[in-house]
Amino acid sequence: MCGGRSQFNLPPDDVGAFVSKLYSLLVEACSSAGETEKAIVACQGWSEEFPEQLGIHERLSQLYQSTGEILKAHEQLKKEVDLNPKRSEDSLVSRAIAFGSCFREMETKLSELQRRAPPQDFESVRALERSEWPTVEKLTRESIDSWVWGCYLLQKRDPNDPTLSALCFGRAVERELCGKVFRPFRESLGSTERQIMGNDKGPLPRFLKKDEIELGVMLYEFVKYREQAWSGAVSQFRKWLEAERPDLPATLGAIDLKTILDLYNPTKHLDGARYSWDDALRMRKLSRDVLAAILAPEAPGSN
């Protein structure tokens, strides 16, 4: 790839298509192997060499989304739509762009809050959470920060936007559920198994193939856990759970996961409706129940 187009013994008109295909294969190989960062680097190189080719920016957007870099994902998806306006007619694409715009606004508010909040106030809230719910210290550092900021907003209510608080709690759940349940399941499979099951339709097979998954997809697997498995990936995931975390399906099934989804999905509030602080409090309680179940297998759901 680095040797230049001249190394390929092909007609000049065919070299570009061949090089682009090589980039595509490299991106998918890295993604399928779980090397998302390498896939992003390869996709960046692909987009730089073929800035006008349709589909590349959308693929890069998907990769950024899988790492939680929503703003970068939003930027790349907008570039794709600029190149190919017809993509905006896809309801999923238009909703993703709307979500990105909403997310950018929330990110700006949250960044401003973090800049102006007195550090001692943040540490005070963290100490209080540690005292009331010691399990919080079992979260990753990033999840602890998200959780404490959510609690900080609940206490201070400045800015007066409970959506931000719900977002912080949801981020902690999304990160922990992926890192402690879904990614270990993916890593338990060999590359051949991931490739075979990843060819099925559905979000869980796509996760096995591309290492991309969202909170809604993960919670949905537990909401529908007692229903018939609709793919080999779902069946294998349930077998893995029975062996590794037999407590988890029943524990999460007793929690109102659908409400978490409703409260975490800001796209449902783009019409001007807003969360209430009671909604944020409900999000905190439900998120805490889910996190307790994930983090304490010997006593799932304990608070």
Q: Say yes or no to pLDDT of 270 above 60.
A: no
**From the CB of residue 86, how many other CB atoms can be counted at a distance below 10 Å?**
9
CA distance 280 to 20: 46
CA distance 123 to 151: 11
Give CA 91 to chain center in angstroms.
Answer: 19
All CATH 1.25.40.10 domain ranges in the chain, comma separated: 5-89
- Of the two residues 115 and 56, the one the predictor is more confident about is 56
Task: For residue 83, name the pLDDT band (cuts at 50, 70, 90).
Answer: very high
CA distance 20 to 26: 10
Mean pLDDT of 63-89: 85
Tell me the CA end-to-end span of the chain in Å, nearest whole number.
Answer: 54
Give residue-wise pLDDT tens across range 211-256. Answer: 778 888 899 999 999 999 888 999 999 999 999 999 999 999 999 9
Give residue-wise pLDDT tens across range 150-171. Answer: 999 999 888 888 888 888 999 8
Task: For residue 299, name the pLDDT band (cuts at 50, 70, 90).
Answer: very low
Burial state string for 2-29 with b = 16 or more CB within 10 A and e = fewer than 16: eeeeeeeeeeeeebeeebbeebbebbbe
**Distance set, CA 238 to CA 37, 226, 227, 232 (Å):** 28, 10, 11, 10
CATH topology of domain 5-89: 1.25.40
Of 10-14, 38-42, 209-213, the one with minimum mean pLDDT is 10-14
CA distance 36 to 46: 15
pTM of the shown model: 0.68
Q: Which of 290, 47, 33, 3 has its CA nearest to residue 147?
A: 290
